[in-house]
Amino acid sequence: MYTVMSLCHFCEHHGPSIMFSCEKVLPTETTNGNVERPDTTSNPDDEGKSSSPQTSNKIKESSIKKTDLCQACRSLPEDKEAFVSNDKETGSTYLSTQHPHNSEMFKRVRQACVRSLSGEVCPGRQGPILFGDEQHGYVISYTFYINDNLARGQKRMYSIICMMADRVFLIQSWTFLVGCIERVIEYMQNCADYVYKTESKEQPQLPARVHARMTNAITPRNFRQLRGDTSNSRALIQLTGNAELYQYLHTAFTWIMRHCRTRIQEHIIFAPPIDDDIVRAEILARSKRSNSVISNEDVALAVANEELRTKSLSEASDNEVPYNCFRSLRHMRDILQPPLFKAVAWHLLIGNQVIWRGHDQNMVSSALQVLKTIIPVGCVKMVTDSNVYVNSYESNLLGLRETVALPSHVKSSDQYILVDIVRKASASQRLSQLSLSASPPTAFGGIEFRMTSGCIIPEKMPVMLHKLEVALANDSLSAEVVKHCLICLKQEWMNKTKVLFKFVKIDNRDKEDTNKLLQVCLSCTEEDTRLLKFWMTGLSFQFKEKLRQSARAEKSMLKTS
C-alpha cells in the first residue's frame, strides 16, 4: 500500500506543478537474490544522493527536464538528484525527488496536484480537503499561501498533498496528518513572513513596480514578451530565506509517513466473558474458598475445564464414544423424535424437573449432560445416578436407576417429566444378537423411550425453543454452527433476564409496569416469561452484587442532594 507526500505550487507561467515528492520505495532484488537499497553512507559529501543506478535512471526518465522549469517550479538543484533516508528498524527506504520516480505514480500525483490547486476548493481557500477514488487513489490536500512581494496579489499558492490507496486508513489518520501538515506549513509561512516584512522595509517600491508591470496594456506586439517574462519567479528557498528548506521537508515528510503507519497498531480485543463462564468461575471459587469473589484467572480456568470436559461427546470419534450414548442435541432429537424432544426441552427451559430413568446409566448420564447445555450453568442442578428420588429444588436434572419409583406427590404434580428407557427384547435375546453381529450394534437398537408427565404441553412454545428447533432441523448447519447458535440464544435470553431482574428485584416495580416491560420492550409471551423467571435463579452472584451496589450508591447520592 503506497503513500506519497508532495509539495505543489500554482505557477503563474506553468500552472499547477509538482515541486517536491517523498515516497516509500521498495528495495530491489539483484540477480543473486540479495536486496539492494540506496546507500548514503559511503561518502559524506554525497549524503542524500541515491547510489542505485536503477533508481537514478527511473528518476531521470520520469521527471520533467529541469531546464523546462522556472525558478518557482524548481526545488532540487542540479547537483542534488534526491534525498534518501533508510529506516533500519523496518528496512524501509524513503526517497524524495522533484517528481515521483515511477511514471504511473507521477500521473496520479500530477492529477492530484491539478485538482488540489484548481479543481477542489475548500472553505476560505486555505485548509484541508479530501478527494479521490479507487482508481487514482485518495488524497488529503492542504492549500495555503506564501507571501511574495513580486507575485500577483503578493501571494503565491501552494498545497501539500498526501496520497494513499486505503481510504479508510486515510480518513482515520485525518487528525494526525492534518495536524502534522499544519505545523510544516506554519514553519514555512513564518519564514516567508519574515522575508516578506524585511523586503517591504528595505525596498518598499517593489510592490508598486510589480503592479505597474501587471497593469500594462497587452497588445499583439508585446503579448509573447509578457507571456515569457519570468523575471518575477522566485524559488521557494528565496521566499523563505532557508537554503535547507527541502532537507527539512524531506525529514518532515519521512517522519509523517513513518509514524502514520506505526502509530496505529492492531490489537485483539476480547469480549467480556459470557454469563456461563462467570458462574463456572464462581462455582470453582466457592470450592476453593468460602467467599464468592472471583478473578480473571478463575474465569479462564473454569472455561478451560468446561471445554476439556464437554469436548469428548461432541468431537470424539465413533470409536471413542459408546454406541448407546447421546452425542449432541441434534443426535438426541433424532433418537427421541421431535415431539418428545420438544416436550423434554420445554420442561427444562421453564424450570420443571426432568427425570431420566433406565437400566443403562451411560445413556442416562449422557442424556443429562447433553440437555444441560440448553439452560444457563447457574440453573443446572444435576444428579446423574441416584438410587432414591431427589427433590426438584435439589436437582432439576435427575437420573434414576431402573427400579426407583417416584413418590406420590411427584406423580400428582404437573411440574415434572419422566423419560423411561425401556428394553423391547429380553436380555438373553439382546446378548445373542450382539454375539452374532460382526459389526458394532445399531445405536439404541431394541430400546424405546416412554414419556410421563402431569401436564399438557402447550402448542405455543417459547421463542428460544422454536429457534433452537429450527437450527437443529437444518441439516446444512454443522455441529459447530449449532453450538454457537445455542450460545447466542442463551446469551440473548440471559440479557433479557438481567433486564427483568433489575426491573423487579432492584427497582421494585409493580406488576403493571412489569407486564409492559415484558410485552412491549422485551416482546415476551407468557411462555417466555416463565422461562425468564426461572433463568433469574441462574444469574451470577457478581452481577447481582453489582446491581445492589449501584442501587445503594444512587440512594446515597439522592439523600446527600
Q: Can you tell me the distance from the alpha carbon of 94 to that of 13, in angstroms, rounded to the nearest whole number?
A: 31
Cell numbers that stand for 215 in this block? 497593469
CATH code that applies to domain 276-473: 3.40.50.12430
Strand pairing class (15-25; 137-147)? unpaired
Average pLDDT rounded to a whole number, residues 438-457: 72
For helices 479-501 and 329-336, give the axis angle rounded to 10 degrees: 100
Q: Can you tell me the distance from the alpha carbon of 354 to that of 367, in angstroms, rounded to the nearest whole number?
A: 11
The pTM score is 0.54
Does pLDDT of 454 surpass 70?
A: yes
Cell numbers that stand for 48 in this block? 542524500
Are 48 and 247 contacting, i.e. CB atoms less than 8 angstroms apart? Answer: yes
Cell numbers that stand for 207 in this block? 510592490
Average pLDDT rounded to a whole number, residues 272-281: 85
Nearest residue to 54 via CA among 17, 102, 2:
102
Q: What percent of the chain has pLDDT over 70?
A: 76
Residues 6+ apart with CB under 8 A from 346: 457, 458, 461, 462, 465
Q: How confident is the model at residue 151 (pLDDT cuts 50, 70, 90)?
A: confident
Cell numbers that stand for 468 in this block? 433452537
Please give the biggest Cα pair distance in the chain: 125
Does pLDDT of 41 surpass 50?
A: no
Q: What percent of the chain has pLDDT over 90?
A: 41
Strand pairing class (353-358; 416-423)? parallel
Cell numbers that stand for 278 in this block? 462467570
Rg (CA), the chain: 40
241 CB-side CA count, 13 A: 14
Q: What is the pLDDT of residue 300?
A: 53
CA 500 to chain centre: 31
Write the single-letter amino acid at 260.
C
Write the single-letter amino acid at 117.
L
CATH code that applies to domain 479-560: 1.10.10.1730
What are the contacts of 507-510 at 24+ separation with CB within 8 A?
Answer: 507/551
Does pLDDT of 314 surpass 70?
A: no
Q: Can you tell me the distance from the alpha carbon of 536 to that of 170, in angstroms, rounded to the nearest whole number?
A: 48
Q: What is the pLDDT of residue 208?
A: 53
pLDDT single digits (tens) 533-561: 999 999 999 899 999 999 888 888 887 76
Does pLDDT of 402 surpass 70?
A: yes
Cell numbers that stand for 428 in this block? 438373553
Q: Can you tell me the distance from the alpha carbon of 223 to that of 540, in angstroms, rounded to the nearest whole number?
A: 88
Domain ranges within the chain, ordered by starting residue: 3-262, 276-473, 479-560
Are 11 and 19 contacting, i.e. CB atoms less than 8 angstroms apart? Answer: no
Are 99 and 64 contacting, i.e. CB atoms less than 8 angstroms apart? Answer: yes
Q: Can you tell me the distance from the alpha carbon of 72 to that of 148, in angstroms, rounded to the nearest whole number?
A: 11
Are 150 and 234 contacting, i.e. CB atoms less than 8 angstroms apart? Answer: yes
Write the single-letter amino acid at 349.
L
DSSP code of residue 147: E
Q: How confident is the model at residue 447 (pLDDT cuts 50, 70, 90)?
A: confident
Of the ranges 50-59, 85-94, 132-141, which one carries the lowest mean pLDDT score?
50-59
Does pLDDT of 484 surpass 80?
A: yes
Does pLDDT of 431 surpass 60?
A: no
Q: How confident is the model at residue 297 (pLDDT cuts 50, 70, 90)?
A: low
Instruction: Dump the DSSP string for 380-399.
Output: --EEEEESS---TTT-SEEE
At residue 250, the 3 state secondary structure works out as helix
Q: Can you tell me the distance from the alpha carbon of 374 to that of 371, in angstroms, rounded to the nearest whole number?
A: 6
The residues that bridge with 355 in the sheet, in sequence order, are: 398, 418
Q: How many CB atoms lie within 10 A of CB 393?
A: 8
